[in-house]
Amino acid sequence: MGEAWGQRRVEYDYPSVVEKLEQIQFPLSYSWGVVGHLMGVKNSDDLRKAHDTIQPSVIEIHQTMGQSQALFNAMSALKKRNSIW
């Protein structure tokens, strides 16, 4: 299942959607997880300041991806294509 983008038809499959999404999200998720862990075990004024400075950007990135119409369309196409979900 795909969709037309102008003259080009996009075909969605698991590697081009889910695996690519994981590659994009992993570095931020991993590093932000480390920061969260440090906040719990080795909290400090400097760490809280750094966390508070970066947190709005992390939230914005997650919201942008979570509200992406293109990503929604791709996942919906995968769902239609693979009735296992």
Per-residue pLDDT tens over the stretch 43-72: 999 999 999 999 999 999 999 999 999 999
Residues 17-39 pLDDT 10s? 999 999 999 999 999 999 999 99
77: CB partners within 8 A, 6+ apart: 1, 2, 3, 12
Give the Cβ contact number of residue 30 at 10 Å. Answer: 9
Residue 12's pLDDT band (cuts 50, 70, 90):
confident
Which residue has better confidence, 79 or 45? 45
Please count the structural domains in the chain: 1
Whether 84 has a pLDDT exceeding 60, the answer reads no
Domain that holds residue 72: 2-81
Q: Provide the strand spans (E) within the chain.
A: 2-5, 8-11
